[in-house]
Structure formats: structure tokens, C-alpha cells
Chains A and B, each alone.
Chain A
Amino acid sequence: MLHVVVCIKQVPDTTQVRIDPETNTLVREGIPAIINPFDMPAIEAGMQLKDRYGATVSLLCMGPPQASEALQKALSYGADRGVLLSDRALIGSDTLATSKALACGVEALGKEMPVDLVICGKLEKRRIRVRRVLEGAEEVLDAPLPALLTVLKELGEPRYASLPAVIRGLRTSIPVWGVKEIEVNTDEVGLAGSPTQVRRIFAPPQREPGEVVSADGEAEKIANLILDRLIEAGFVEG
């Protein structure tokens, strides 16, 4: 049977996040935690594979203990199981270390049932054919399984979960796996396994509105105006 692993993440509601201008840190207090909106199409992709090919869908999430809420909710869309990777040793993981931990998590899931496809937000059959959306075009790609895919929001939001499924999700206790269960070397995850160092976080400065030049009239006039500006800015030699 096809085994699909969908990776999700719990994030603060991005529409409500602010940056404290004094401390330059994210103000998380009082901000609801939600499933990363970019992961929602990944969940839907998993569900479509389940509908069409009877795939077994496992959800994998790394985060603090309260991230089990996100898994419970994601389960309500119809996934078969959810596992939370949560361990003190994983705290402070950057992209590389998180990827390592997730990879080990996928491997650990694979021991129970070989994994064919891993889907992440922003997808893998024996061979998989996918259409990749490019700017103004589509590209058809073909690859052997196992594979890893990322999906975009164009794939769609998850279906509206049925009430029994929601209740089942809320009642499921989520197994928590630590570094032991996923057999990862503690040097490769957490702060120790993260080459990225955060030096400073700052709010991007407000962009100044661009200059609007109105030029009614002939094309020649407009062209000259643009040329003058470019020369002025030093992009073109006069």
C-alpha cells in the first residue's frame, strides 16, 4: 500500500504576528497557534492520494508538546495517524537540523511501513508524475518513488472535515517521539546541529512609496522623461 507522510508545522497565526519594535522579537503572547497555512494543501494532497489510491497517510510534526493540537486538528481531515517529534534536544533547530530530525522521523515511520512519498507544504507512487506550475506555463515531471514533493496553495485547502472525524481527532492522543525513537544523533539536531546563528531580528523598514510621475501626452515626451530619470539615477550614461 502507498504510504504517504505529510509534514506539518504549528505556527503563530501569521495574520496576527507583530514584532516588538523595542526588543525586535516576535510577540507570540496571546496569538493563537495554527497549522502553517502552507501545509494545508499538503494535507489535502495526502487526502486526495488516500481517496484515489487508498494511501495510508501519516502526519509528522516537530514542535513543543502543545503542537499535538495541530496534529489533532489535521487528523480530523481523515489522516490515519499523527506523530509529534518533541524533545528538549530538538529545541533551537534551524532549517538544516529540523530537516535532519524530520528525515529521521520519516525513517522511523518507515520501519513500521515503508514510506513512498513525503509531502511538504510549499509530494511521491512507484513512479510519480506531477505537473509543476511555472510562471505562465506548466511542466510535467516524472520521478521514481520514494520521492519528496512540495505543494503550493493552488492544490486547494483541505475538505471540510466531518463531525465524527473531528471528534475522533480531538480524542486521539498523539504519540510523542524524542531523539531516541527517531534514532538521531543529538549533535545533528537542536542548537548543536544548527549552523545558522541568529544575530539580530528586525522589522523590515517601511518601504517608501515609489515616485509617481504623471506625463500626459506624447510617447516621446514620456520616453525622454524616463531617460532623464535613469541618467539622473546613474543607470544610464548621458
Chain B
Amino acid sequence: MTDKPERFDVIVVGAGPAGMSAAYLLAKEGLNVVVIERGDFPGSKNVMGGVLYRHPTEEIIPGFWREAPLERHVVETQTWVLTEKAAFKAAHRHEAFAQEPYNSFTVLRARFDKWMGQQVRAAGALIVPETVVEEPIMQGDKVVGVRTGRPDGDLYADVVIAADGVNSLLAQKVGLREKEIPTNEAALAVKEVIALPREVIEDRFQITGDQGVTIEMYAEATWGMVGTGFIYTNKDSLSVGCGALISQLVERGVTPNDLLEHMKSHPVVAPLLEGGETREYLAHLIPEGGLYGMPKLSTHGMLVVGDAAMLVNSMHREGSNLAMLSGKMAAQAVLRAKEWNDFSAESLAYYDQLLRDSFIYKDLYKYRNMARFFETHPEFFGFYPELLNEACREMLTVDGVSKRSKQRKIFWDALRRRMPWRMALDFYGAWRSIA
């Protein structure tokens, strides 16, 4: 075939939440957009824990939740602090979360993204699956296109949006970021989708209809490593997973699979999963560098969005959110650049500005020191959870000892195990890092 290489307005690399959001909004404005995806279809390579928030998603597709394939709307959020044999649980449920328009939903990414892909196509963008982008095509210091692994695979465009995920090859090759992410700035998360009958899920989690529950777990859930575990209720399955900093997994010689099995066998977790059949097993690298890990976000002819830009707020399990919104901001910057016919670094820096003025940057700034703090304070994943659970046990055990004596015992036990000034420093530090 003698097809000439075609020129597009925008090349989006990666059909994840960030790339598809940008592609959808740009195609809707009539730009000639092509999305290059390495998987078989949009979503086939995408992994998320499974909670999708309505508000940011409506910034892309208003009213999406009336037609998109969603699992359950979240009415209850639980946080568990685990020790080997105990759990301290906090839960919040509000009637407001059970009313339309819901706050958040559990989703199975592959199904949702397939739907999202249809919307992107309907908006007029072209999605080219099963195609790997190998490198940017440069003219001097300008990105003018991408080279794919297919024969005659060069594509040219005014601007390239790198939405190619946490290991972003494009950002690396253009020199916007370091080659490798430091192992203490990335978490490895694994997840299983465990099938259970609807009624069993509704019974075990005390929900009705399409209501859903999310559980976040700390401390023993990740064997005391910096990370979290989770259980999210889908219609007829549970998303169960956990993740920890790679540096700590390596140091302890623990595989992510060991970690997940350990969590699943916890006496408080196991009964919720009992009788379930594992249907899918997924793994994902999560950028945890926060603000300090953020690469340069734009250059001549290219923008970096989503995981590729390390936009993850690990404190609030927000990744897909930030990805979608960064996609929207990238689209806004590209539309303005198109109007001015100026795709220089200066023009595209409008994207950086939008991001810096948004809550994304503010949140990442707020939690900028959190990851480092907890990495150097393992007591928050071991000693303190133990203290908390043992204090509860002491107070709840009726054994002829007066409550005042029990309080005194708890107090002195704690002081004997850690100096009071250390504890004061710990909590001051923790508060500083998240407040």
C-alpha cells in the first residue's frame, strides 16, 4: 500500500484515563486526534484499585454515570488499622452518599475504559490499538511526532500528549525526567478480582441494591511496610489488593503476591472473602514521588499527563482523578496553542500554569513530605497500631481490674516502650506531613 504518512493535530500516546480524557475533549472541539494504545483495546492495560469519583469524571463527560458501566456507588468508607490478630475499624456512612448524583463509584477499569473508548471514538478521535510507541520524533529540541513499532509507523502532529503511564518512555527520551524512578518513589500494587454472589456481598457488607463499601487497611495489611491494602465491593465481585514501596519490598525480600496472600489470610479479612473465586490478577506500578517526583510537564510540542507526570495523591487514593483532570488541562492548553498556532514550550507552559493553579498541585504540595516521613517512621505501621489495638483490648477485657488501673497500665506500658519526647516528635512530624 502506498499510503502517505498522515498529519494529525494531536497524537495521544496511551488510552488510559488521562490520554482518553484529553483525546475526548480535543476531538469534540473538532481536532484531528489519534490515540496510540499498546493493548488490544482501551483499558486492556489499565489498572486501578477501583474507585472512580463522579465530580472529576463529569469534568470530562457530564452525566457519564447514567450510562457508563459502573459497579456500585460508595455509601460507606472504612479505615482499618490492623495488627497480627486485631483490627481497629473506623467507618463512615452517610445517607447523602446513597442519593443521586452519587459521590463515587466502584468500577472495573477494563469495562469502564472500553465504554470510555467508545465515547472517544464517537467524538471523532481515532484509536489505534496493538501499537507501541518506540520513541519521539525530534526536530532539534522540538517534538514533531512519534515512531511506532509498525512498518511505516511514523506519525506527525502539532503536539504529542504523553499519557504513556508511570514508566513514560516519551518523558524519559525527551529528557523531561530521570530514566528510572527511585525505588522509594514507587509502589508496587497487586489486586485480585474475587467473584462472589451478589447476595453474599450485600449480606457481608450490609448494603442493598447498588450500594457499595470501600475498606482501606493499614499496618499489618502490608506487613508494616509503607502502603495500604483495600477491599472494594463490585456488583458480583470484590476488588482486593495491596501495595507497598518497592524499596521496602526489596529490603524485606517479600513479593507482592506474598503480601496479598498475607493480607487475605488475616483473621479479620479472610471471612469477607470466603468462598470467593479469583477471576483476575492484576499488578501496577504506582508513582509515589508526589510533588518531588513530578517531572517537567511540558516542552516544545509535547505535554506529559497522568501517571507519566507522576500525578498521584497516595494519601487520598487519587490517581485516575488527577489523570483525567490533567488530561483536561492538557486539552485546554492545546486548544489555546491551536488558536494561536503556537506549539512552543512557552505556549504549552499554559498547561503547567493550569495545573499549578488547581487543587492537584495544592494537594501534592500539602502532602509533599508525607511519603518520606512515613518511610522513615516505620512505627506508624507497627508500634502505634499495636499500641492502639492492645489498649482497646485492655479496656474491653473485664478481669476484675479497675478501669483506672487499666488506663495507668496502658499509659506506663507505652512510655516504657517509647520515650515520651519521641512520641511527641512522631505525632508532631506526622501532623506536619499531612496537615
Contacts and interface: CB of A to CB of B under 8 A. Distances in A.
Interface of A: 30, 32, 34, 78, 160-168, 170-171
Contacts of A78: 1
B126 A170 contact: yes
A97 B155 CA distance: 45
A160 B150 CA distance: 7
Interface in B349-400: none
A167 B32 CA distance: 13
B152 interface: yes
A164 B1 contact: yes
Contact of A165 (B1, B5, B127): B1
B209 interface: no
Given A32-B40, A78-B1, A160-B151, 8 more contacts: A30-B111, A32-B114, A163-B131, A163-B152, A164-B4, A168-B3, A170-B127, A170-B128
Interface residues of B, number: 24
Given A166-B131, A168-B3, A34 B151 contact: no
Contact of B155 (A30, A160, A163, A170): A163
Contacts of A166: 128, 131, 150
B278 to A, nearest CB: 12
List the 6 closest A-B pairs by CB distance, nearest first: A164-B3, A162-B151, A163-B150, A163-B153, A162-B152, A30-B111
B88 interface: no
B128 A30 contact: no
Contacts of B126: 167, 170-171
B1 A167 contact: no
A151 B180 CA distance: 47
B44 A162 contact: no
B41 interface: yes
B108 A164 contact: no
A162 B153 contact: yes
A164 B5 contact: yes
Contacts of B148: 163
Nearest to B40: A32
A158 to B, nearest CB: 12
B294 interface: no
Contacts of A162: 1, 3, 150-153
Contacts of A165: 1, 3
B52 to A, nearest CB: 16
A171 B128 CA distance: 11
B338 to A, nearest CB: 21
Given A32-B40, A32-B44, A170-B126, A164 B152 contact: yes
A50 B1 CA distance: 12
Contact of A30 (B40, B108, B127, B151): B108
Interface string B151-163: 1111100000000
Given A161-B150, A163-B148, A30 B110 contact: yes
Interface string B130-155: 01000000000000000010111111
Nearest to A69: B41
- The winner among A160, A161, A164, A168 for most chain B CB atoms within 10 A is A164
B128 A167 contact: yes
A167 B108 contact: no
B128 A163 contact: yes
Nearest to B151: A162
21 contacts: A30-B111, A32-B114, A78-B1, A160-B150, A160-B151, A162-B1, A162-B153, A163-B148, A163-B152, A163-B153, A163-B154, A164-B3, A164-B4, A165-B1, A165-B3, A166-B128, A167-B34, A167-B126, A168-B1, A170-B127, A171-B126
B251 interface: no
Nearest to B147: A163
B339 interface: no
A185 B343 CA distance: 60
Interface in B1-30: 1, 3-6
Contacts of B4: 164
A165 B4 CA distance: 10
Contacts of B131: 163, 166
A166 B152 CA distance: 11
Nearest to B111: A30
Interface string B108-120: 1011001000000
Given A30-B110, A170-B126, A171-B126, A164 B6 contact: yes
A161 B131 CA distance: 10
Nearest to B126: A170
A170 B44 CA distance: 18
B336 to A, nearest CB: 27
A30 B182 CA distance: 36
Contacts of B6: 164, 167
Contacts of A30: 108, 110-111
Contacts of A161: 150-151
A168 B4 CA distance: 11
A129 to B, nearest CB: 29
A71 to B, nearest CB: 15
A51 B124 CA distance: 33
A78 B154 CA distance: 18
A78 B5 CA distance: 16
A102 to B, nearest CB: 26
Contacts of A168: 1, 3
Contacts of B5: 163-164
Contacts of B150: 160-163, 166
A161 B153 CA distance: 10
A217 B131 CA distance: 58
Nearest to B148: A163
A37 to B, nearest CB: 13
Nearest to B43: A32
